Structure 1
Amino acid sequence: MPTVRFRAREFDCAHGAVLRDVLLAGDETPHNGASGSLNCRGLGSCGTCAVSVSGPVSDSTRRERLRLRVPPHDPASGLRLACQTRVLGDVTVEKHAGFWGQHVDDEDDGVDGDDDGE
């Protein structure tokens, strides 16, 4: 039975379980802030459940690859959509800052720092 590690907690799950479902069942979320309410509910179309995952998981789905090509995501970031990722063994999951969870470097704190007056 695989174990998912997330925010200093551990959850056991069935082999092949959807990562988003595992986190939600454990009273955790793959979303930040308002994206917890404003998301596609696991359809793979919004991109707000993007996380870093290390460990054995399923290959990216076509839907996931297409969504991660659309800004603010970058396909080179290595992020996965929790709603499209199946757990195949013990994994460690990290959620990054920002509405989309796409901020993976230390220079960006997830706050809009534009000086465009908006």
Structure 2
Amino acid sequence: MPTVTVGEKTLNCDRGANLRRVLLDNNIDLYNGKAQFINCRGLGSCGTCAVEIEGEVSEANWKEQGRLSLPPHSPTRGLRLACQTKVLGNIKVRKYDGFWGQGQERVW
């Protein structure tokens, strides 16, 4: 069973679990500010669930690659959309500031 480390918290999930669902089901504030109200609810179109991930996860699909190539994101930053990411092994997740999580300061 993979573990998801978020700040000081360690969560367990099934292999192949959707990262957005894992975080929200464990009361992790995935969205910054008003993005908690204004987001695509997991469709992969808004980009507000962008996070940095270390560890084994699914490859980025076309939807995720497309959204992360548009401003304010940058494909060279290495962020992933939690809503499009499946957890395949133990991972560490970081969230950054900014409406879309595109900032430089860590939130968690």
Q: TM-score, normalised by structure 2?
A: 0.94
The residue type equivalent to 1:9 in the other structure is K
The residue type equivalent to 2:39 in the other structure is N
* 1:71 and 2:77 correspond: no
TM alignment of 1:60-99, pairs within 5 A: 60-99=60-99
Partner of 1:103: 103
- Provide the aligned length of Structure 1 versus Structure 2: 106
Quote the RMSD (CA, aligned, Å): 1.2
Gaps of 5+ in 1: 110-118
Gaps of 5+ in 2: none
* 1:19 and 2:19 correspond: yes
Cα distance, 1:7 vs structure 2: 2.3
Q: TM-score, normalised by structure 1?
A: 0.86
Moved over 2 A (4+): none
Identity %: 52
Pick the structure with greater CA Rg.
1
Are the equivalent residues in 2 in contact too, given 1:20–1:29 (CA < 8 A)?
A: no
Q: Which structure exhibits the higher relative contact order, with contacts defined as CA atoms closer than 8 Å and separated by 6 or more residues?
A: 2
Partner of 1:55: 55
Give me the whole-angstrom Cα distance separating, in 2, the residues matched to 1:75 and 1:2. 27
